Amino acid sequence: MRVIFEEGSAQAVVYAAGELEAYLKRMLPELAGCEWTMRLRVEAAEAQGAEPQGAGRKNDSFRVEVTAKGGSITGNYPRSVLLGVYDYLHYLGCRFLMPGGQGEYVPRIGKEKLPAHYEKTASFYHRGVCIEGADSFENIRDFIAWLPKVGYNSFFLQFKVPYAFLARWYHHEQNPYREAEAFTYEDACHYMHLLEAELKKRDLMLHKAGHGWTGGVLGYEMSSWETTAKPLKEPEKSYAAMVDGVRGLYGGVPTNTNLCYHNREAADRFAESVTAYAKANPEMDYLHIWLADEYNNVCECSECRQTTLSDQYVALLNEIDRRFCEEKLDTRIVFLLYQELLWPPVRERLKNPQRFVLMFAPISRTFERSYSLEQIPETLPEYVRNRITLPSNLGENLAFLRAWQTQFSGDGFVYDYPLGRAHYGDFGYVHIARTIAEDIKKLKEMRLDGYISCQELRAALPDALPGYVMGYTLFEEQTDTQALIEEYFAAAYGAGEKDARQYLEALSRLQCCDYLNGKGARTDGQMAERMRQIQEICAGFHPEKYLLQQGKIEPAVFWKLLVFHKEYVQRLAKAMELLALGRQQEAKNCWRAFRRYLCEKEEEFQPYLDVYRILEVTQKYTGFQ
């Protein structure tokens, strides 16, 4: 058996050859010694030069042509060849169910299964995930390796350096049972370079930065949302937004502090820092430029009051674009529709729209249901400086997008949060998986070309069904969601898949995505009844019996997870029942027992549940203290 490629092939093609050979040897050991050759190659027209943008840009596509004696996998970009290899392995019966080798289903097959003739083109250009939560280096590395296996092509390392997400893990925040490890900013830089190499090895698109620019202008190079004890001095103090007559750090957090964008020195410093960063980081494909990560703290000085934050933002983006042109930088810039920036500018317009990519971030939306395209208001709520309320209504969220799109008709994608907070309220993960699929199927009608999920990477309790559905649906929007779900359960749970699916679907029917995410009254009799029913369903389910069949089920990790998941759900649902009944002290005690249980079990289930994040969310949003 040979997998060959042209001399001088891109790194991703060489890597794809190794992956195809390794999996086929596991699936067909009888191929050893046979004359069977596979050729991997990039289409000649795309093999040279940088990936085109704008009108010349093409979505990932590949062609699989295999006979009993061998064949070829051809892609239009190096990563497309890798995507084609994984899709062919999926065609042969492999299932890449979650990050890490423990979540793979690799069957034994006969040679008669090998022939295949088909081609595919991705439905959307942007198909990625943005890091959140608390993550070890190994968590992130394994997640990056999983992305192309299920159809993704992008990854976003937030901040200039993703220190916050790594430090949360290595410092073991939220877990008093584990001692903090030594971990520094320099360690994060080292890991970042290793992770970027993993992305480039697979030719995945790299997104960087986003948060942190405003803090940098104020003299704080931030890679987190931490408060600082360092006082804000002149001239930087004059750069900060004036709120209630005072210029200073908003809540003591540089990342959350807006600037006085009328101040020419502040704007120049912002534009210069972005330009210097772009020059120093030519390997990134997309640079995100965002403002403060809090709202209702916009500058109230007399000059800033004459315009809107969005007008100032667009003027700043135009200045950055001018400097990029002077420096002959072709870096694409992602601009953000978020908080005050949901309201489009009144006067300013982007002068070079080909440079920019619109990112719609409806962070306050509901996940009880999918986007609604039928009831979009014709007008937006009035913008009142430092008195805005974020929309939760799906139609109202989309009204903001439509308003921006009357001014900007270029490239764009949604930056959404189904696996960032709301998923913890769907104990079965089937509801949130369906919502994700329905959202993706509406993207073209929303005039958006893709989706980046801002999420925890360790989102695999009870399983990683939502991320699996997201990846495959982004590549093929017409994918049958129910078929994907059934395929996943069959591979993950083997002979017990029917029992597992009925159990998890029953939990999902009682989901509380909005309630857990802090939406609605905390005392809620209907929610209390849902939580009581969930505990009853758990009591009647016995995943332990399937652990005895581990040798017959591949991979066995999913039944082990269901045993842990059952206890996790019962404990959290009981605490939420008490909270919804208004029995706050009992709820607090019950939640603290839940917290203790998770912290004690964290090491055993570390790759699957982000303990830091579920505890942070239930404190900050659900209402436990």
Whole-number Å distance between alpha carbons of 276 and 281: 9
**Alpha-carbon dihedral sign for residues 546, 548, 553, 555:** positive
For residue 416, what is the enclosing H or E element? strand 412-416
The pLDDT tens digits of the residues spanning 85-140 come to: 999 999 999 999 999 999 999 999 999 999 999 999 999 999 999 999 999 999 99
Question: Chain-wide mean pLDDT for the chain?
Answer: 94
pLDDT range class, residue 553, cuts 50, 70, 90:
very low
Residue percentage of the chain with pLDDT more than 90: 91
* Ordered DSSP codes for 164-232: HHHHHHHTTTT-TTSPPPP--HHHHHHHHHHHHHHHHHTT-EEEEEETTHHHHHTT---SS-----SPP
Which 8-state DSSP code applies to residue 249?
-
Residue 582 CA neighbour count, 13 Å, CB half:
5
SS3 101: helix
CATH topology of domain 2-120: Chitobiase; domain 2 (3.30.379)
pLDDT tops 50 at residue 480:
yes
> Can you give the residue ranges of every domain in the chain?
2-120, 126-210+284-292+324-492, 493-622
Summarize the confidence of residues 308-316 as an average pLDDT. Answer: 98
Q: Cα–Cα distances in Å, from 118 out to 39, 73, 121, 323? A: 16, 10, 11, 46
Residue percentage of the chain with pLDDT more than 70: 96
CATH architecture, domain 126-210+284-292+324-492: Alpha-Beta Barrel (3.20)
Contact 446, 409 (CB under 8 A): no
Confidence (pLDDT) at 32: 61
pLDDT range class, residue 392, cuts 50, 70, 90:
confident
Confidence (pLDDT) at 66: 96
Contact 448, 412 (CB under 8 A): yes
Confidence (pLDDT) at 51: 61
Return the axis-axis angle of helices 78-91 and 11-27, rounded to nearest 10°: 10
pLDDT range class, residue 29, cuts 50, 70, 90:
confident
Residue with tokens 């920019």: 356
Contact 488, 97 (CB under 8 A): yes
SS3 256: helix
The pLDDT tens digits of the residues spanning 221-250 come to: 889 999 998 999 999 999 999 999 999 999
Q: Return the number of other C-beta atoms located less than 10 Å from residue 327's C-beta.
A: 12
Give yes or no for a cis peptide into 344 (omega within 30° of 0): no
pTM: 0.95
The pLDDT tens digits of the residues spanning 488-521 come to: 999 999 989 999 999 999 999 999 999 999 999 9
The pLDDT tens digits of the residues spanning 405-418 come to: 999 999 999 999 99
For residue 612, what is the enclosing H or E element? helix 611-617
pLDDT range class, residue 33, cuts 50, 70, 90:
low
Token couple for 579: 């909270």
The pLDDT tens digits of the residues spanning 603-616 come to: 999 999 999 999 99
The pLDDT tens digits of the residues spanning 36-77 come to: 899 999 997 544 445 655 556 899 999 999 998 899 999 999
Whole-number Å distance between alpha carbons of 309 and 316: 10
Confidence (pLDDT) at 53: 58
The pLDDT tens digits of the residues spanning 185-216 come to: 999 999 999 999 999 999 999 999 999 999 99
The pLDDT tens digits of the residues spanning 244-262 come to: 999 999 999 999 999 999 9
Strand pairing partners for 356?
333
Mind spelling out the 3-state secondary structure of 348-375?
A: CCCCCHHHEEEEECCCCCCCCCCCCCCC
Summarize the confidence of residues 419-437 as an average pLDDT. Answer: 97
Q: Cα–Cα distances in Å, from 174 out to 36, 178, 575, 610? A: 53, 9, 18, 11
Confidence (pLDDT) at 393: 85
SS3 337: strand
Residue with tokens 């249980």: 597
